[in-house]
Amino acid sequence: MYFSKIKMIKVGTDCSGIEAPIQTLRLLNIKHIHLFSSEMDEYCRQVIHMNYHPQILYTDITQRDHRELPLLDLYIAGFPCQSFSGLNKEAKGLLDPRGTIFFECVKTIRCTLPKVFIFENVKGLVSHDLGKTFQVILDQLHALRQYHIYHQILNTVHYNLPQNRPRIYIVGIHKKLSHSDSFHFPESIPLTLKVSDLMDLHSSPIKTELTMNMKQVIRNRVKRKKGKLTDNYIVNVSASVDGFGSAMKEICPCLMANASKYYSTKYKRFLNAQEFLRLQGFPSSFQSLPDEKRTKKQAGNSMSINVLKHLFLQLLPYFTQKTRVVNCHHSYSE
């Protein structure tokens, strides 16, 4: 219904990673112009060049003049999560230099005035510092005054990808396009895929060596689930101690950038990089680096495409409307 009414969406992304948002627009066949990306990691930039064609690719969001940015319809940013993660006991939130990138994203919104913006981060952002950090973020976004702000934790496993990945999504919609109660986050859908559906079961066997500690961790976690090692339990054994994470039957525990060893008890091997990408919704046509560990890290940092698909479909009506915007040079100064 709305696809035919959309002429062309002007898109910009920051903290772009391997560009799950742009990949999602492609998979949905939504016409778009990829105006800019921004990514500090040189290997992610290589992947962006391999798969996409942003008109500008920034290397450092803090070093650009936001007033020179083009006006947008859609702005998406997955600002760094390490300073908010519950796994980081010393997480400093917005006091961490990585956390302050959020404020650069707010400046970007002031200058690009998108119809819709989306932020994604770890769910620990909501509870960090007893919720004070998240309140600062919401206050900053409400201070824009031109957007209705919505937020909800969405889990990849609820959008037909077998990965347990809860993430906070913050959506801003221009007030000239919506009423405060006009947007609703997408409903969850049944999980019909299993991890084994995404695995390379007919490829050559991969030699996998487990340390004694890994073997004990796997046994303990599957035992706690009252399961059998002959079932396809996936266990993150990257951590050096037991008690970190859990075994999940035909569902992958949350992929993380700093963890590469996710073990399948049934197939007696670690998941490979292409399986990591599939668990994030990337298609077989996606080009990745030959470096297995780097690709796993990139997948672990990425947004989940299936979640973005359902979120974009909920937001389509707002891209068919027109709204007047104020030029950044008159509305904002550093």
2 conformational bin, left if phi > 0, alpha if psi -120 to 50, beta if neither? alpha
Residue 239: which residues within 8 A CB-CB, separation 6 or more? 217, 245, 259
Closest among 283, 329, 333 to 26, alpha carbons compared: 283
Closest among 110, 145, 147 to 331, alpha carbons compared: 110
The whole-angstrom separation of Cα 147 and Cα 314 is 17
DSSP 162-173: SB--EEEEEEEE
Contact between 163 and 279 under an 8 Å Cβ cutoff? The reply is: yes
Ordered strands of the 262-264 beta sheet: 248-249, 233-236, 262-264, 269-270
Matching residue, tokens 């509870």: 127
Q: So which residues are the catalytic ones?
A: 81
Q: Read off φ and ψ for residue 319, nearest 5 degrees.
A: -90, -5
The whole-angstrom separation of Cα 191 and Cα 158 is 7
